A and B are shown apart, each in its own frame.
Chain A
Amino acid sequence: MTDSGVHVGGRSSRLTLPLAVLAGGFVGSLARACLAAAFAVADGGFPWVTLIVNVLGSLVIGWYLARRERSVTSRWSLHFWAIGALGSFTTFSAFSVEVVELIDGGARGLAASYVIASMVLGLVAAWLGDRVGSAS
């Protein structure tokens, strides 16, 4: 009885964090899918939905991780929010492929400005979130 309880407990704790990532990933992917459906970008247009999603997610993850170091939050929370939800809300593959599509469509200037905007704004957002989250 006790053995079986310990065994089940051990097994469930090994599954807890992957399940948190799975659940968080669902929430983050759902949010991005809804935004993408609500605000469709025209073919060949500036992919500002992905840009906003990536910058917003970078801001929040910076804030969340900095706050986390100053308070007691569970590993479940880290895996759900940072790795699952924010990790999959933001996307590097869509960013990269959108750049390629812009280049393929002949819009090299737009592609370059999209790359620079994503890199600079994403980094500044993560830094800003980190600073705000670290401030008392």
Chain B
Amino acid sequence: MSIAILAIAGSLGALSRFGLAGAVQRSTRLLVPVGTFVVNIVGCFGLGVVVGGFHTDAYPVVFVVGFFGGFTTFSTWAIETVRLDIAPKPSRSSVINFLGMPALGVLVAAIGYFLAT
């Protein structure tokens, strides 16, 4: 049951990511992948709040956890960093994306987590 909820919630998270990342990316002239960045920041904060505030396996909680799992993405961040020319000589934008995403992701997750605890 939990696995089915996680899969359904994750698919809705993926669709929401597609919508939000696309809208953010279209609204900017920046060449950096700011759509993925915004999605991941929002998702890290959201999951931090849920995990920090709700220590339960109740299905609504499982659903929200699954949603943010599918909403955020690690693989896109990794390949976008590579495509910003991390090798052989790292570009400034690739370094910012590589270091900034985990730093901000963990920071906002911590803020959400400890606010909700």
Contact = CB atoms under 8 A, between A and B. Distances in A.
Contact of A62 (B3, B82, B105): B82
B33 interface: no
B7 A33 contact: yes
A57 interface: yes
A47 interface: no
Interface string A20-64: 011111101110111001000000000000000010011011100
**Best-buried of A17, A24, A84, A91 by chain B (most CB within 10 Å):** A91
A58 B84 CA distance: 15
Say whether chain B's binding surface is mostly helix, strand, loop, or mixed.
Answer: helix
Contacts of A23: 11
Given A127-B87, A130-B82, A29 B44 contact: no
A118 B69 contact: no
A89 B17 CA distance: 13
A103 interface: yes
A94 B113 CA distance: 12
Using C-beta atoms within 8 Å of the partner chain, give the interface range for chain A.
35 or more
Contact of A90 (B2, B6, B73, B98): B73
Given A21-B14, A29-B11, A37-B3, A97 B69 contact: no
A8 to B, nearest CB: 22
A96 B12 CA distance: 20
A86 B12 contact: no
A79 B101 CA distance: 23
A83 B10 CA distance: 12
B14 to A, nearest CB: 3
Interface of A: 17-18, 21-26, 28-30, 32-34, 37, 54, 57-58, 60-62, 65, 79, 82-84, 86-97, 99-101, 103-104, 115, 118-119, 122-123, 125-127, 129-130
